[in-house]
Amino acid sequence: MKMQLAEIAKALNTTIEGQDNPVICSVTFDSRKIDENALFVPLKGERDGHDFINSAIENGAVAALWEKGHDNKPENFPVVEVEDTLLAMQALAKYYLNKVNPTVVGITGSNGKTTTKDMCAAVLAKRFNVHKTQANFNNEIGVPMTILEMKPTTEILVLEMGMDRAGQLHHLSELVRPDVCVITMIGEAHIEFFGTRDKIADAKMEITDFLKEDGVLIYNGDEPLLTERAAKLAQSKTTFGFKSDDTIYATEFRSYMHHASFVTNSSDQKFSIPMIGKHNVSNALAAISVGHHFGETDDEIASSLSEFVPTANRMQWRKGDVGEDIMDDIYNSNPTAAKAVLTSFGQVEVKEGGRRIAVLGDMLELGEASPKLHASLASKLDPLVINEVYLYGPEMKNLKEAIQDKYDAKNLHYYEQDQMPRMISDLLSDIHENDIVMLKASHGMHLDKVLDRLL
């Protein structure tokens, strides 16, 4: 971005305090990460960002938003006073979005948002100037930050949009007013807050609340909860999945160690993605649907998908210290995702003498249904397929009880949350060169510490 501070003040219906009118080229809420000509936005969370204004100035900020009436307002420094700094940042993002005026692709879903976002951006970058959400900056702070980071030449903005409560996607949809909405799937993520998958589906559909009249909804047609709700939408609709009545569906699916391949009903083109599993093919089908919407050919899309780089810690293969192959999927977890990953992992070929070893940590935010949902992973655990299981965390005790009759005690390991060092030690002693290992848990279980030791 590139705007004078006076333009920003005008966009926010306020004025500058101070004589300077610097050119703003970036916006940040982290006083430690100040880019050139940065506007500092102090947000209130666990800590009050206003307390870090001196740090922001020392690190090179040239101006700041400031909550009216807040103490310690800096002197001799350009300040734009606003009622609420977060709402002001969102309003500024909306102003800048309208100014650049890219086509907006909004992506949500219980699983696969980030991977689908990465795939869509890779596909569209073949023909267009594309800006996408970095990492998973997908909430009421991350979405406006993503907008404010885009270049003025951006033609398509690909936004990951998350939610953990009703109304959140409604607000984000109003902010970005998408031209294309993509819903990957409905799972059990955040069921603690919603109670049922029906209510999760309702919340996900909020992304379409401000979908433009000539916009399109692209959604997983294999999910009845989405099909039922999409039928009420006036805008155009496209479906993807594995059923013959989907607009685009996959056939000849194959999953290998480092990639998956498939064809679709739309052509004879063979697609290959550098990720495994049927659920990632579903994400790729969403990206193919987006590519088709923007006029791209299957040949162009296939080329992009074969080369796309996924965000870290999402089913990435890593080489362990003793030569074992590790499937790193530690960013997050919920029952739907865990079952999909276990299925994919069980299909990966193992070298002679090797074993499949699953390391599973608690899945968080499952509420009263947590014991039952953890135990439900038992359906995807067969000792003849996944030979050894390490379980970590209080909720995983439910899965241990569900599978202890079919696993020998020597192949089933359980650890309380304060026993991570012991689990790491046991894994280091147990794993051999020809083994393959998968790591999956909610981010709050910190399996990254296990991964670091194995690497």
Reduced to 3 states (helix: H, G, I; strand: E, B; else coil), residue 28 is: strand
Mean pLDDT of the 350-378 span? 94
All domains in the chain, ordered by first residue: 3-83 (3.40.1390.10), 102-307 (3.40.1190.10), 316-454 (3.90.190.20)
Asked whether 24 and 62 are in contact (CB, 8 A), the reply is yes
For the cut 70, the answer to whether the pLDDT of residue 206 exceeds it is yes
Mean pLDDT of the 412-429 span? 97
Q: Please report, in range form, the residues annotated as the binding site.
A: 109-115
For the cut 70, the answer to whether the pLDDT of residue 313 exceeds it is no
State residue 433's pLDDT score: 96
Mean pLDDT of the 387-398 span? 98
State what percent of residues in the chain have pLDDT above 70.
98
> 190 falls in which pLDDT band (50, 70, 90)?
low
CA nearest to 141, candidates 260, 30, 269, 17:
30
Q: What is the pTM of this model?
A: 0.84
For the cut 90, the answer to whether the pLDDT of residue 78 exceeds it is yes
| 4 vs 309, residue with greater confidence | 4
State residue 227's pLDDT score: 97
State residue 150's pLDDT score: 97
State residue 304's pLDDT score: 97
Mean pLDDT of the 83-90 span? 98
Mean pLDDT of the 220-247 span? 97
State residue 353's pLDDT score: 94
Q: From CA 385, how far away is CA 382, in angstroms rounded?
A: 5
DSSP state of 259: -
DSSP state of 329: E
Asked whether 255 and 278 are in contact (CB, 8 A), the reply is yes
For the cut 90, the answer to whether the pLDDT of residue 436 exceeds it is yes
For the cut 80, the answer to whether the pLDDT of residue 194 exceeds it is no
For the cut 90, the answer to whether the pLDDT of residue 193 exceeds it is no
Mean pLDDT of the 385-394 span? 98
Q: From CA 289, how far away is CA 301, in angstroms rounded?
A: 10
Asked whether 146 and 159 are in contact (CB, 8 A), the reply is yes
What pLDDT, in 10s, does the model give residues 115-133? Answer: 999 999 999 999 999 999 9
| 309 vs 213, residue with greater confidence | 213
Asked whether 65 and 85 are in contact (CB, 8 A), the reply is yes
What pLDDT, in 10s, does the model give residues 102-114? Answer: 999 999 998 899 9
Q: Which has the minimum average pLDDT: 164-168, 289-293, 397-401?
A: 164-168
State residue 77's pLDDT score: 94
State residue 315's pLDDT score: 75
Residues 6+ apart with CB under 8 A from 367: 191, 192, 193, 195
For the cut 90, the answer to whether the pLDDT of residue 379 exceeds it is yes
Q: From CA 455, how far away is CA 451, in angstroms rounded?
A: 6
State what percent of residues in the chain have pLDDT above 90.
85
Mean pLDDT of the 142-159 span? 97
Burial (CB count within 10 angstroms: exposed 0-12, middle 13-18, buried 19+), residue 278:
middle
Q: From CA 366, how far away is CA 360, in angstroms rounded?
A: 16
Q: Where are the beta strands (DSSP E) in 383-454?
A: 388-392, 412-415, 436-440
Region of residue 252 (phi > 0: left; psi between -120 and 50: alpha; otherwise: beta): left
Q: Of the segments 32-36, 238-242, 307-311, which one has the largest average pLDDT value?
A: 238-242
Q: From CA 132, how far away is CA 113, in angstroms rounded?
A: 12
State residue 311's pLDDT score: 78
For the cut 90, the answer to whether the pLDDT of residue 451 exceeds it is yes
Residue 381 C-beta-side C-alpha neighbours within 13 Å: 28
Q: Please report, in range form, the residues annotated as the binding site for ATP.
A: 109-115
